Structure 1
Amino acid sequence: MKLIYVFDAYCGWSYGFAPTLTELVRRHPDLDVEVVSGGLFTGRRRVPVREFGYVQGANAKISESTGVGFGAGYERLIADGSFVMDSEAAARGVAALRQTAPDRTVELTTALQHAFYVDGMSLSDPATYRAVAEAAGLAPDTVVGAFTSPGSAAAAKDDFARAAQLGVQSYPTLLAVQGARTAVLAVGHAGVDETEQRMDALTATR
Structure 2
Amino acid sequence: MYDSIRKTRTGRYEFVRGHRHHHRHHKCFDECAGVSIYDWDELVRQYNVLYDTNAVLTNERDTLKTELQGFRAGYDTNLTTLRQEIYNLRIGNQRFIDENRRLADENHHLKDEEGHNEQFKRRIKDMKRQLDEEKHAKHELRAELRDSKRTQTRWEGLTETLRTKLAEAREDLGMKNDIVVAQNQTIIKLERLLRSGRDW
TM-score w.r.t. the length of structure 2 is 0.20
Q: Which has the higher helix share?
A: 2
Which structure has the larger Rg over C-alpha atoms? Answer: 2
TM-score w.r.t. the length of structure 1 is 0.19
Q: Which has the higher strand share?
A: 1
